[in-house]
């Protein structure tokens, strides 16, 4: 079976693979919804601590002071809404799996109702929710793992791989679903058995916000798959450089 660690690394048949999210993040901060906010928070910290900066540098060194200034948790809430997003993902999964509805906040409830209304009208039929996947890689063993949000049949009977997004939709999402679609092993949530990963006919981003839910049809072909594989190469190169002094 596939197992996932707390830092989102995936192990299958005794081999541990990096997660899709970590692989994609190595491309650069331009893909991050919160990258601009992080810079603003750092500058806010610098202004607040201008009189203390010399002491910080003396005690922590330049690198240590930079890390302290870049600490997000000290300067304000993350506008990407990661806590809300995680809660909504859990509620959507509970709904799709027929679990009893739990206590929720008004913001969570509003988004859940949007999803329920859309799901009823969409004609989609659930295949898997929160499925863990692994691509075991080729001869080089450079595989990866991940967890997709939704695999379903659409109203025309086509297999659709969907990613639920409660924040801003960025190009990262395209190569993320491409990576999930290239997996060769899938394990349903809560299961102890794996199966061959179906080939998706469609890729969709379900953009769920306070204004409603919209389907964003995503084109996944050779360029998108190659983009992810290039990110995988960069990731492994970065890993190989860790601890090396130049």
**Domains of the chain (ranges plus CATH)?**
3-21+80-241 (3.90.320), 34-74 (no CATH)
Instruction: Compute the distance between CA of residue 67 and CA of residue 130 in angstroms, rounded to an integer.
Output: 34
Q: What is the pLDDT of residue 158?
A: 98
The candidate with the shortest Cα–Cα distance to 185, out of 18, 12, 21, is: 12
- Of 150, 171, 144, 167, nearest to 239 by C-alpha is 144
pLDDT band at 40 (very low <50, low <70, confident <90, very high): low
- The tokens describing 194, both together, are 């794996």
- 67 or 151: whose pLDDT is higher? 151
The backbone torsions φ and ψ at residue 226, rounded to the nearest 5 degrees and listed phi first, read: -65, -35
- Strands across the sheet with 10-12, in order? 3-4, 10-12, 15-17
Any bridge partners for residue 19, and if so which?
Answer: 145
**Would the pLDDT of 116 be above 80?**
yes
3-state secondary structure of 43: helix
SS3 195: strand
Strand pairing category for 3-4 and 125-135: unpaired
The mean pLDDT of 48-72, rounded to a whole number, is 63
Residue 215 has pLDDT above 60, yes or no: yes
Place of tokens 């909504």: 88
Closest to 203 measured CA to CA, from 182, 184, 219: 219
Q: How far apart are CA 148 and CA 92, in angstroms?
A: 13
Residue 78, pLDDT above cutoff 80? no
* pLDDT for the residue 180: 98
In whole angstroms, how far apart are CA 146 and each of 17, 133, 243?
Answer: 9, 5, 27
**pLDDT at residue 81, rounded to an integer:** 53
Residue 72 has pLDDT above 90, yes or no: no
Q: Average pLDDT over the chain, rounded to whole?
A: 84
The angle, 0 to 180 degrees and rounded to 10, between the axes of the packed helices 106-122 and 82-96 is 40
Cβ 162 vs Cβ 194: under 8 Å: no
Measured CA to CA, the distance from residue 203 to residue 178 in angstroms comes to: 8
What does DSSP assign to residue 223?
H
Per-residue model confidence as pLDDT tens digits over 103-112 = 899 999 999 9
> Which tokens hold the place of 170?
């960025």
pLDDT tens digits along 118-174: 999 999 999 999 999 999 987 777 899 999 999 999 999 999 999 999 988 888 899
Percent of the chain with pLDDT over 90: 59
**The pLDDT of residue 221 is above 70:** yes
149 — phi, psi (to 5°)?
A: -85, -40
Phi/psi at 192 (nearest 5 deg)?
-120, 10
């Amino acid at each position: 079976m596939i197992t996932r660690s707390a830092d989102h690394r995936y192990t299958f048949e005794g081999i541990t693979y990096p997660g899709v999210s970590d692989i994609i993040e190595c491309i650069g901060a331009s893909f991050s919804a919160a990258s601009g906010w992080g810079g603003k928070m750092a500058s806010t910290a610098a202004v607040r601590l201008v009189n203390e900066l010399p002491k910080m540098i003396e005690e922590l060194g330049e690198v240590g002071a930079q890390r302290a200034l870049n600490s997000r948790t000290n300067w304000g809430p993350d506008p990407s809404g990661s806590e809300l997003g995680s809660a909504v993902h859990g509620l959507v999964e509970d709904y799709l799996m027929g679990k009893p509805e739990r206590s929720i906040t008004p913001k969570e409830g509003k988004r859940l109702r949007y999803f329920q209304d859309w799901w009823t009208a969409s004609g989609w039929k659930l295949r898997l929710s929160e499925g863990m996947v692994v691509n075991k890689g080729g001869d080089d063993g450079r595989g990866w793992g991940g967890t997709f949000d939704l695999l379903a049949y659409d109203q025309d009977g086509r297999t659709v791989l969907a990613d639920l997004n409660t924040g801003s939709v960025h190009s990262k999402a395209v190569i993320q679903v491409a990576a999930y679609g290239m997996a060769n092993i899938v394990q349903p949530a809560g299961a102890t058995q794996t199966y061959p990963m179906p080939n998706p006919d469609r890729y969709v981003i379900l953009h769920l916000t306070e204004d409603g839910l919209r389907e964003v049809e995503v084109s996944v072909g050779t360029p998108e798959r190659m983009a992810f594989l290039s990110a995988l190469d960069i990731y492994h190169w970065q890993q190989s450089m860790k601890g090396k002094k130049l």
